[in-house]
Amino acid sequence: MAELPRSTYERFNVTMKTYDYAFRFTKEDDGWVITCRDLPEAISQAEANEDRVEVAEGCLQAALESRLRDNEPLPVASKSRRSEVMVSPPAATAAKAACNVKLA
């Protein structure tokens, strides 16, 4: 297969944005409080026996889709800090965000 000229390749070289955000899981008496510093509305809780990352994924999905629906900008994700976990939204939500992105 013939290689494309470099200028053609550079024109079509696009980086996919993933919309991963850092979440903090704070241990409480009977479970976890789940927060995201980049999305203040993304706050939830998980029981001790629940998958807290799965709960965070749903929380992220709800926050992003709410912002998209209300035509609000999506904040640029901060790098995770110690004790934070990067969480990804479902692929369909990331695709919606990529089609409608307005970065803050």
User: Among residues 83, 92, 88, which one has the least CA distance to residue 57?
Assistant: 88
Q: Delimit the domains of the chain by residue range.
A: 18-99
Whether residue 1 is predicted with pLDDT greater than 70 in this model: the reply is no
Give per-residue pLDDT as tens, 85-101: 999 999 999 988 888 76
Cβ atoms of 23 and 98 closer than 8 Å: no
pLDDT tens-digit series, residues 37-94: 999 999 999 999 999 999 999 999 999 999 999 999 999 899 999 999 999 999 999 9
* CB half-sphere exposure, 75, CA atoms < 13 A: 14
With tokens 């297969």, the residue in question is 1
Buried/exposed code over 44-68 (b: 16+ C-beta within 10 A; e: otherwise): bbbeeeeebeebbbebbbbbbbebb
The class level of CATH for 18-99 reads alpha beta
What's this model's pTM, rounded to 2 decimal places?
A: 0.80
pLDDT at 30 over 60: yes
Q: What is the pLDDT of residue 2?
A: 58
